[in-house]
Structure 1
Amino acid sequence: MKYPWIDEYLLAKPSVTKDLQAEWNGIRYQIGGKLFAAICLDDATGKAVYITLKLDPAEGEFLRRQYEDIIPGYYMNKVHWNSIKADGSVPDDLLREMLEKSYQLVLSGFSKKKQKELLEGEKNDAV
């Protein structure tokens, strides 16, 4: 995978958990039990194929027009989710920005009280 920093980057965020979803062979990153990023693995090799994350629909559509390596969410809602080819040409800085926006978008769906708890919470790595 072209982006080996993703795991460390995501797990450094408050209250992020990571696990392997064996049924669909993917690594999930969640906050408060809600998915905000996933790495889809190849069944045969175990290598990363796609990095999937949530974005505002208009921004996701714009980015898909700009980069051929950003596609509608792989096995996800095609409006809200986007997948980035793991060996593609999306710049690291842009992917970091997209991952941050996904984290913030999912976090903002919680009540203010729950957001505060999550931001002050501990990280948990289940894998």
Structure 2
Amino acid sequence: MEIINSLTNQIMYIISEIGYIAVVIITAMEYACFPAMPSEVILPAIGILAAKYNKKTFILFSVMGIIIWNAILVSLGYFIGHNWSYIHLIMKQYSIFAAIIIFIIILLLIYRKLVSRKQNNKSKNLI
């Protein structure tokens, strides 16, 4: 739960600092199934921010992000659709590599969190 809260806070900070352009980028990343941007975090954060901003403008920028990503997907399908079997083979190879990298990153984050907690507990015991 702490990771989701952290991601939500980061997303809300980015949008509050950059503005509507961040909405376009983050929405496009969410629709791209970007691993660091799960919809369970993105959509509630965007909903919270939509309540603070002009709703019509916010929806317009969200739709722009969706259209950008859909245009990329349709273009990819059009230009590389006939080579799908070759692309599937390449994606399968890189998916394994990406899964290993993501697993290593998760382990490093867990390790860093445990070390941080241990240091916080030591500092609390000294006080």
Q: TM-score, normalized by length of structure 1?
A: 0.27
Task: Work out which structure has the larger RCO, using CA pairs closer than 8 Å and 6 or more positions apart in sequence.
Answer: 1
TM-score, normalised by the number of residues in structure 2: 0.27
Structure (1 or 2) with the greater helix fraction: 2
Task: Considering fraction of residues, name the structure with more strand.
Answer: 1
